[in-house]
Amino acid sequence: MKASAPKTIVWILGLIIGILGLVGHFVDIQYITEYSFWLLAGGFVLLALGTTFKGF
């Protein structure tokens, strides 16, 4: 299995979603705090999919 670099937009979206998850864990923001774990997990999954599938 070969890993490939994700497209820039996928990388940026995964990074933003992951950062929102981290911020939501430490700062009380109404919607983001409730789903901070899922935002962080979603950002990680998005980055993992971006490296697994070519052209994603």
- DSSP per position, 1-56: ----PPPHHHHHHHHHHHHHHHHHHHS--HHHHHTHHHHHHHHHHHHHHHHHSTT-
User: Is 3 within the bounds of a domain?
Assistant: no
Mean pLDDT score across all residues of the chain: 91
- Is residue 2 domain-resident? no
Crossing angle of helices 8-26 and 36-52, in 10° steps, is 160
Question: The whole model's pTM is what?
Answer: 0.83
- Residue-number span of the structural domain to which 43 is assigned: 8-52
Residue 54's pLDDT band (boundaries 50, 70, 90)?
confident
Is residue 56 pLDDT above 80, yes or no? no
| Domain assignment of residue 13, yes or no | yes
Task: Return d(Cα 24, Cα 37) in angstroms, integer.
Answer: 9
